[in-house]
Structure 1
Amino acid sequence: MASDEMIKVVGDRFCVPYTMELLVKKKIQSFSNSHYDVFDTTGNILLQVNGGIWNLQKKRVMKDPAGLPVVTLREKEWQMHEGESRHCLCSVKRSGGFNIKSNLDVHLASPYKDAACDFRVTGSLASLSIKVRRGNSIIAEVTHSYTWGSYKGKECFQIKVYPEVDYAFIVALLVIIHENDNA
C-alpha cells in the first residue's frame, strides 16, 4: 500500500504499523449457528464472530478476546454497526451488473458522502482469492484453503492486512462476502 494514512473503520486499536497475517477458522456449530475465530501468527485469538446462518435477523456479532462486542453485522444491504448499537459505520452491497465474482462496494456512513464507494472487494471464495481495495491500492488480501474439513463445515482463511489498516474491518468484510457466497 502506498499511503501512510491510517484506515480505521471499526477503530484505531485494530490498526498496527506492520503487515498483519491472520488465520480465520470458520466452523458451523449447529444447523443454525456459525462461528469464526481469528488468530494471529502465534496462535493468539484476536476476534470471534458468532451468529445464526438461517436466523431471521441475519445478524453476526464480532467480539474481542474479553467477549466485548466490537461490531455487529446486519444483513439489510449488509450494514456494519459499532458494538451492538445502531450507529452505522458502513454499508456493503454487491457491485452493479451481473458478475461471476462477488464484487462488493463499501460505503462509509457519512451525511456528506457522494455516490462513489470508499472500498471495493473483488474476487470470491470460489476463486480462492479476495482483494480489498481503496482506490487503486490493495489494502488486504484473503486466500481460502479448501480441505476435506471444508465439506464438514470447517473452513480456513488466511488474511494479509497491510500496515495501518483496520483488521477488524477486513475480517468483517470476509464474513460478509462469505455469507453472500453461501446465500
Structure 2
Amino acid sequence: MAKQDPTSSSSNTIPLPPLVGSEFVRPQTLDLIITGDTVKDTTGNKVFKVKTPLFGLHNKRILLDPNDSPILTMKMKVTSKHDRWQVYRGNDLDDKIFTVKRSSTIQLKTRVEVFLKHNQTREASCDFTIKGRFMKRACTVYVGDSTKIIAQVHEGDKRLVATIYPNIDHAFIVTLIFIFDLINMVGAGV
C-alpha cells in the first residue's frame, strides 16, 4: 500500500476534535511502530501498550499509557455477527466513546466502520471507515465514507508502522488499528 502525502488534497486538512483526549493530538504527522502489544515512537519511547486481562473473557483489551494507566477499554460484543467492538473511557464500562464493527458479515476486503457516541443508536452513516485486506495487515483510516485519509498503516519487518496525520487523536487511531487487526484475525479464521 503506497503511503499518501498528508498534505495532499484527500488528506485531513480540517482538525477533528480529540476523541480520546487533547494530549493525544499533535500538530504534525506522527509515525508509530507497533510490535506485538507495544506501541513506540520512532525514537523508541513507549507510547502505549495493549493488555489482555489474564482472567475473564479473551474478548477484552485495555489500552495503557507508558505508566500502565488505562486509557481505553475495548470489549467485543460476544453475540455480534459483525464482530462489534465497543470502546470505553478508562475502565468505566458506562462511558462508551465509540463502536467499531465489520460493515458486513461476508467480505473479500476488510471494511470496518466506526460510530461515535452520538451516532451509535441510528448508525445511519459511519463517522470513520477502515479499509484493508485479510492477508495483509495494512489499512487506511478515512473520515466517514469519504476519501479523506487520516491515518495509514503498513506492515514492516514483524511490525506495523502507523502514520497518523496532523491534528488526529493517536490514541483513537492506535485503538482502531488493534481492533482492525483482531477483526482481521477472526475473518481469516485465526
TM-score (norm 2): 0.80
How far apart, CA to CA, are the structure 2 residues paired with 1:179 and 1:7? Answer: 26
Bigger drift between 49-58 and 79-88 goes to 49-58
Residues 101-138 of structure 1: per-residue CA shift (max 9 Å, x gap): 11100000116866110000001352342000003200
Percent identity over paired residues: 30
Question: 2:87 is matched with which residue?
Answer: 80
Question: 1:40 is matched with which residue?
Answer: 41
How far apart, CA to CA, are the structure 2 residues paired with 1:95 and 1:6? Answer: 23
- The one of 103, 115, 123 aligned to 1:107: 115
Secondary structure of 1:182 counterpart: helix
Question: 2:13 is matched with which residue?
Answer: 3
Bigger drift between 5-14 and 76-85 goes to 5-14
Question: 2:153 is matched with which residue?
Answer: 142
Structure 2 gaps of 5+ residues are 1-10, 78-83
Structure 1 gaps of 5+ residues are 27-35, 148-154
Instruction: Give every structure 1 segment of 4 or more consecutive aligned residues whose post-TM-superposition deviation is greater than 4 Å.
Output: 52-55, 111-114
How far apart, CA to CA, are the structure 2 residues paired with 1:173 and 1:54? Answer: 24
Q: Is the 8 A contact 2:88 2:97 kept in 1?
A: yes
Give the partner amino acid of 1:98. Answer: I
Task: Map 1:24-103 onto structure 2 (within 5 A).
Answer: 24-26=34-36, 36-51=37-52, 56-76=57-77, 77-86=84-93, 87-96=95-104, 98-103=106-111
Residues 126-151 of structure 1: per-residue CA shift (max 9 Å, x gap): 23420000032000000123x5xxxx
What is the RMSD computed on CA atoms of the aligned residues?
2.1
Shift of 1:12: 1.3
Aligned length: 166
Residues 77-108 of structure 1: per-residue CA shift (max 9 Å, x gap): 20111001021010011113632111100000
How far apart, CA to CA, are the structure 1 residues paired with 2:90 and 2:65? Answer: 10
- Asked if 1:162 is matched to 2:162, the reply is no
Secondary structure of 2:98 counterpart: strand
Question: 1:124 is matched with which residue?
Answer: 133
How far apart, CA to CA, are the structure 2 residues paired with 1:69 and 1:54? Answer: 17
Q: Is the 8 A contact 1:8 1:166 kept in 2?
A: yes
Give the strand-richer structure, 1 or 2. 1
Question: 2:25 is matched with which residue?
Answer: 15
Shift of 1:9: 1.4
Question: 2:80 is matched with which residue?
Answer: none
Bigger drift between 44-53 and 73-82 goes to 44-53
Question: 1:33 is matched with which residue?
Answer: none
Bigger drift between 120-129 and 41-50 goes to 120-129
Question: 1:151 is matched with which residue?
Answer: none
